[in-house]
Amino acid sequence: MNPLLSPSPPQLRCGARLLDLSEPQVMAIINITPDSFSDGGKFHADGVLLDKVLRRVEEVCEQGATLIDIGGESTRPGSLTVTAGEECDRVLPVVDAIAKRFDTIISVDTSTPEVVRGAAKLGAGLINDVRALLRPGAMDAAAESSLPICLMHMQGEPSSMQQDPRYQNIFDDVAGFLKDRVAACLAAGISEDRLLLDPGFGFGKTTAHNFELFRRIPDFVGMGFPVLVGVSRKSMLGAITGRAVGDRLAASAAMAAMAVERGAHIIRAHDVKETVDAVKLATAVKFEKSNND
């Protein structure tokens, strides 16, 4: 295991599969919603588009993604919640189809207990929850699933989170929240080796907040859990480069490499091929430094 990465376990049990964390991994984003901020409607799975989703899964697996993150509820700023039934109808057929066709780890981007339970039964390997299991019933559903859970920090709800977010101290507040959620998981019977952390870039944070948290990635890694970083195409990149959402590939790849240098374990990305290359290069630099120490 690369000693420059965190002391967290080198492997994560994701259902029937093991995820190697001794080197950074890339998680491909596939949003099956009509209104996601970057690719809304592109993979909205209403039956006709299921084949399109599966072709994209095949493509990103060939490009080097080791996890596929399926989301059925948009969490872009200003978005509204969907019903549990609607989210199940969007997500579960996709999880089922992917699990039957591909040897890959399926992550389900959800806060909804019904989706957690259904996806776990169909072969999902990871629960990625922007609300850190705070939605009623989510903690119990996650505990019953036996799957690992990524706990993310978000201030407020997507519908209002970007309306003047404020903190006493951005790192202390976010880290304190994540520590509290870890404690709640442990109390619910979810073991430490099932937990990952995500600072929640863009979720109730200003540009200054986001970059301060990014600089502090090593401190999140130091908390002893695998760290997931998702900054792909986000507004924090647009604020610096002045580029529109669809023109942030270079910035996203650069941030992916910097996140790896800072110790991140999983990089969540839209542009998988380019992100995999950036991660490989950053990892090679880290290993070379380690080998020369």
Pairing mode, if any, of strands 17-20 and 11-14?
antiparallel
Element (H, E) at 132: none
CA atoms within 13 A on the CB side of 215: 8
φ/ψ of residue 194, rounded to 5: -105, 5
Contact 56, 48 (CB under 8 A): no
Q: Which of 201, 192, 261 is nearest to 229 (CA)?
A: 201
Q: What is the CA radius of gyration of the chain?
A: 18
- The residues carrying an active-site annotation are 234, 268
C-beta of residue 29 within 8 angstroms of C-beta of residue 270: yes
Short-list 133, 121, 130, CA closest to 91:
121
Give exposure, 1-21, as e/b (b: 16+ Cβ within 10 Å).
Answer: ebebbbebeeebebbebebeb
